Structure 1
Amino acid sequence: MAKTVTINAHDGGSFSAYVAGDQNVSKGGPGILVIQEIFGINEVMRDICDDLAAQGYVALCPDLFWRQEPGVDITDKTKEHWDKAFALFGGFNVDLGIADLKSSLSALRQLTGGKVGTVGYCLGGKLAFLMAARSDVDAAVSYYGVGLADHTGEVANIKKPLLMHVATEDKFVPKDQQAKVKAAVAGNSNVTLHEYQGNDHAFARVGGEHYDQAAAYAANTRTANFFKSHLS
């Protein structure tokens, strides 16, 4: 059961979110806040939500580009879409994005009444990392987050479990940045980091250029077990 809901922003205005899962069945059960890549709430994100719903979660994916252009739904298949995605990424305000995610987290808690985790990919991977540091989310998963080297000072604020999936050959995250992040999280027992040797960015994006079935299966299995452990 999937639908669209409206979420009120902290500073006025509102934005939409895709929701999958039966809230009636799951009342008091767990929810997962799904954080988009740079392509908006597209089929890939909706499929992730639907898959989480099939696992018994209520999954909510908010439209984080609404302040620039509501309803973005593009792919990674054309140069035109990539250009638009990078333009939206360039104009994205991280702090406002976190504020919108906190509003979304609150809305999801009201829908479910249970524990709530978050999972994000690419831009969403960065935001999932920051939600672990800046919000009361119960557990967080970051897939190949970008720009994390600029936020290592926030690692000490991570008080709940965070699972990180890092592609060693990520074209958007240089090796020195990977090393900086790895060293920073090593001292926080709440953080578990897995490296996927030889894999590039977005190795878990089904249908993507760098999709790797084995690596995606490993990461997704770890994610499933992680959420089962921390959101039950």
Structure 2
Amino acid sequence: MTSLTIDTPDGSGRFDAYLAQPGETPRAAVVVIQEIFGVNAGIRAKCDALARAGYLAVAPDLFWRLEPGVQLDPDVEPEFQRALGLMGRFDQALGVADIEATIRAVRALIGGGKVGVVGYCLGGRLAYMTAARTDVDASVGYYGVGLEGLLGEKHAVAKPLLLHIAGEDHFVGKDAQAAIHAGLDDHPRVTIHDYPGEDHGFAAQGGRRRSEEAARLADERTADFFARHLA
């Protein structure tokens, strides 16, 4: 089974999600939150890697209200521009509601066990919002954009949250990074790792944005984080 259909909480529609299942009983579940490029090959590969590590992994199609099934390549300029256009029309609050519906669906699939989320780019921002607005058990955000504008929600973060920040992120400037640290460094549930010299997208599964050494380090930290908090 490589797909899952999920009902919205208000019954207004249904959306698909890519599903990767481990070969044995899942140790927990992880919802993989897409970039602005949709549930493309890179996001599916993230799910497959999590399944090999023993997790049930699922990536919901968060752009389904705009364009179901979109899959874009960030290294192709027209597709990158199309992704920016989709991002501009995307309702983030509805996206979090869809993530919450996905959390509930996969929690049922694993018999009520623990569920984490991990998101990249747009998904990194949504991972923070999910940590603040849902009962998810653990959250990881890679280079989330605009987190400094969400610090008013930090007191709602009740479960562990791990953030990876690219030191030279051209979407998240030095002032924004400083504000994130000032707002969250003393938060008992939040851990922040900085990656000096790295740019936005450094942990992409492939393509020109990937920075191998930093990606491996961040992914190792994510694996350790999930092993601790989803056990």
Range into which the TM-score falls when normalised by the shorter chain: over 0.9
Give the Cα separation in 2 of the matches to 1:115 and 1:108.
9
Amino acid across the alignment from 2:79: H
Partner of 2:20: 20
Contact 2:8 2:101 in 1 (8 A): yes
* Number of aligned residue pairs: 229
Does residue 196 of structure 1 match 2:185? no
Gaps of 5+ in 2: none
1:55, distance to aligned residue in structure 2 (A): 0.3
1:22, distance to aligned residue in structure 2 (A): 4.2
2:2 counterpart SS class: strand
Contact 1:7 1:17 in 2 (8 A): yes
Contact 1:139 1:160 in 2 (8 A): yes
Partner of 2:68: 70
| Aligned pair partner of 2:88 in 87, 90, 105 | 90
Amino acid across the alignment from 2:230: L
Partner of 1:151: 150
Q: Under a length normalisation based on structure 1, what TM-score does the superposition of the two structures give?
A: 0.96
Contact 2:132 2:154 in 1 (8 A): yes
Further displaced range: 192-201 or 145-154: 145-154
| Aligned pair partner of 1:44 in 31, 42, 45 | 42
Give the Cα separation in 2 of the matches to 1:163 and 1:207.
22
Deviation per CA, 1:56-86, whole angstroms, max 9, x where unpaired?
Answer: 0000100000010100011112111011100
1:89 counterpart SS class: helix
Partner of 2:106: 108
Give the Cα separation in 2 of the matches to 1:134 and 1:124.
15
Amino acid across the alignment from 1:214: E
Contact 1:199 1:210 in 2 (8 A): no
Deviation per CA, 1:39-64, whole angstroms, max 9, x where unpaired?
Answer: 00100000000000000000010000
Give the Cα separation in 1 of the matches to 2:154 and 2:84.
27
Give the Cα separation in 2 of the matches to 1:34 and 1:171.
23
What's the C-alpha RMSD, in Å, of the aligned pairs? 1.2
1:210, distance to aligned residue in structure 2 (A): 2.9
Q: Under a length normalisation based on structure 2, what TM-score does the superposition of the two structures give?
A: 0.96
Amino acid across the alignment from 2:14: S
Give the Cα separation in 2 of the matches to 1:137 and 1:55.
20
Partner of 2:211: 212
Give the Cα separation in 2 of the matches to 1:46 and 1:120.
12
Contact 1:143 1:166 in 2 (8 A): yes
1:208, distance to aligned residue in structure 2 (A): 3.0
Give the Cα separation in 2 of the matches to 1:40 and 1:208.
15
Contact 2:22 2:53 in 1 (8 A): no
Gaps of 5+ in 1: none
Runs of 4+ in 1 over 4 A off after TM superposition: none
1:60 counterpart SS class: strand
Give the Cα separation in 1 of the matches to 2:25 and 2:87.
34
Give the Cα separation in 1 of the matches to 2:154 and 2:208.
31
Further displaced range: 204-213 or 9-18: 204-213
Give the Cα separation in 1 of the matches to 2:217 and 2:206.
17
Contact 2:22 2:52 in 1 (8 A): no
Contact 2:45 2:205 in 1 (8 A): no
Percent identity over the alignment?
48
